[in-house]
Amino acid sequence: MAGKYYNLDSMLKPKSVAIIGASQSPEKVGHIIMQNYFNVGYSGYIYPVNVGGDDTILGRKAYKSVLDIKKPIDLAVIAIPAKFVPQALDECGKAKVKSVVIVSSGFSEVGDTALQEQIVSIAKKYGLPVLGPNCLGVMDLRSRVDTLFLPTFKIDKPSIGGVSFASQSGAVGSAVLDLISHENFGLSKFISYGNAAVIDEADILNYLAHDPDTKVIIFYIEGVKRGKEFIEVAKEATKLKPVIIIKGGITPAGTSAAHSHTASLAGSYAAYEAVFEQFGFIQAKSLDDMLYFAKIFEAQPLTTKKRVAIITNGGGVGVLAADSLYLNGLEMAELSEEAKKSLRKVMPPIVNMSMPMDMAGDADDKRFGAAIDVLSKDENVDALMIISLFQTPGADSRVAATIIKYGTENKKPIVVVSPGGNYAEVHNNMMESSGVPVYPSPEDAAKSLAALVKYSEYRERMGSLDAKDKNNKKSKRDNK
């Protein structure tokens, strides 16, 4: 533990892993975890531990205790019945294991606070970073660490990217991992922390805030254990990178459910919301919002400016987009005269040079390309919303390729709106896999752009406050 917060490197980047509860039986959690390490191509040492006396498990020599291994162990994953966990954890301490993940449940979430306190006491005795209990554990796509007891055929693993996701709920975590893969943006790390007996939200936020592989943090929380420390970390974390947060337990019913789920003290939502607002968290009200915000922050540049140009091949959707901008505190861009002149040269007479710019249902890749090229260079335009209805005659793979070209080269934020079925989805996947965020509705796109602008304003404000603080400190030194 460095200062107040645990360093999670040995947990997320271990060179050796002991799996306590490893088993030959495919239905056992320990078997699934060990098999997953092989499936993801983990290159470190794996030591199966099982008191049953098997000589080998999945082709690796088995041990009855971590004390029998006699080699350095960076991480131990405990997947055994709750009543046996304290003894196993104590043995980890004696063996000088560097970190522990306890996936076992049956602790304070079911009312057994005494058993959980045993874990806390043992962890303190040895200075052990312990994640859990009652969690899925960790996944790091770069180091190929995977303690999740989820069969690989049941969940799509995301590609490697810059978004790290921490979740108090394992069920929410596993579902969101699947959705991240579907939304086609990349994941860096996943941390499921359950009851937070030892390692808590403040430790995780502090670690991810300083992790060079994490560009964006998304967080599902039900409650915070150390409020003062969490706020202390939040002040610094949101100055470094976006933190998108969704809070479970915002109603009396949700608060009660949170307590029975992870023994979390969910607390007053108004108090949490005030903290989130003050320290620049991007608040999501739904899982969809959380994912939609994450993908714009991963792929698009920050901007404090609000003028959005709308390009569409369907007039009605353009009208809905205009409403969405207004309802989310954004502004419709007013094209410069120079941009209008350039557009008149390349657009057919039926296209009106005003916002939203309806290029008509027969708009093809050339029309899309010309419009994006001109508007992306217009100084009156801060961001672009491109509506591509792939149901129209002119929209096909060439339109998607054109959007990708500009979307990956442009210095201004670009979002795409593309509702539809299988044909649209194929092209949406093309664009998203290339780093262009695609949304099913103008409202979702506008909400995400508004989140980008709001956080950008916070960062700019904090930057100016930091500069003032430095100047004030310098003046005080000069006056001494």
AA identity, residue 352? N
CA atoms of 135 and 456, how far apart (whole Å):
34
* Calculated CA dihedral for residues 458, 459, 462, 467, nearest 10 degrees: -150
Average pLDDT value for the chain: 91
CA atoms of 30 and 77, how far apart (whole Å):
9
Instruction: Please tell me the predicted confidence (pLDDT) of residue 250.
Output: 62
pLDDT over 50 (residue 327): yes
For tokens 């100016």, name the residue. Answer: 464
Instruction: Please tell me the predicted confidence (pLDDT) of residue 259.
Output: 42
pLDDT over 80 (residue 236): yes
Could you say which DSSP state residue 99 is in? E
Instruction: Please tell me the predicted confidence (pLDDT) of residue 251.
Output: 53
Q: Which residues contact 305 (CB under 8 A, 6 or more apart)?
A: 382, 383, 453
The burial of 93, by beta-carbon neighbours within 10 Å (0-12 exposed, 13-18 middle, 19 or more buried), is given as middle
Instruction: Please tell me the predicted confidence (pLDDT) of residue 52.
Output: 82
The helix/strand/coil state of 371 is helix
Number of H helices, E strands in the chain: 16, 20
CA atoms of 397 and 219, how far apart (whole Å):
35
Of 45, 161, 24, 61, nearest in space to 97 by CA: 45
Domains of the chain (ranges; CATH) run: 1-134 (3.40.50.720), 155-299 (3.40.50.261), 302-452 (3.40.50.261)
Q: Which two tokens stand for residue 204?
A: 């995780």
Q: What values do phi and psi take at 214, rounded to 5?
A: -105, 120
Confidence of residue 268 (pLDDT cuts 50, 70, 90): confident
User: Is the bond into 356 cis (omega within 30 degrees of 0)?
Assistant: yes
Query: What are 426-470's pLDDT values in tens digits?
Result: 999 999 999 999 999 999 999 999 999 999 999 999 987 666 555
CA atoms of 202 and 67, how far apart (whole Å):
31
Instruction: Please tell me the predicted confidence (pLDDT) of residue 157.
Output: 80
CA atoms of 162 and 345, how far apart (whole Å):
41
pLDDT over 80 (residue 154): no
Query: What are 15-60's pLDDT values in tens digits?
Result: 999 999 999 999 999 999 999 999 999 999 999 999 887 789 999 9
**Alpha helices of 300-347 — where are they, by DSSP H?**
315-327, 337-346
Query: What are 291-320's pLDDT values in tens digits?
Result: 999 999 999 999 999 999 999 999 999 999
CA atoms of 366 and 346, how far apart (whole Å):
9
Q: Which residue has the higher pLDDT, 472 or 150?
A: 150
Of 214, 212, 220, nearest in space to 177 by CA: 220
Query: Span 350-372, mean pLDDT?
Result: 95
Order of all β-strands in the sheet with 160-167: 145-146, 137-140, 187-192, 160-167, 216-221, 243-247, 282-283
**Do strands 16-20 and 414-417 pair parallel, antiparallel, or not at all (unpaired)?**
unpaired
**Do strands 60-61 and 99-102 pair parallel, antiparallel, or not at all (unpaired)?**
unpaired
Q: Which two tokens stand for residue 300?
A: 């698009």
pLDDT over 80 (residue 254): no
AA identity, residue 295? K
Backbone φ/ψ region at 96: left (φ over 0), alpha (ψ -120 to 50), beta: left
pLDDT over 90 (residue 473): no
Crossing angle of helices 442-479 and 287-299, rounded to 10°: 60
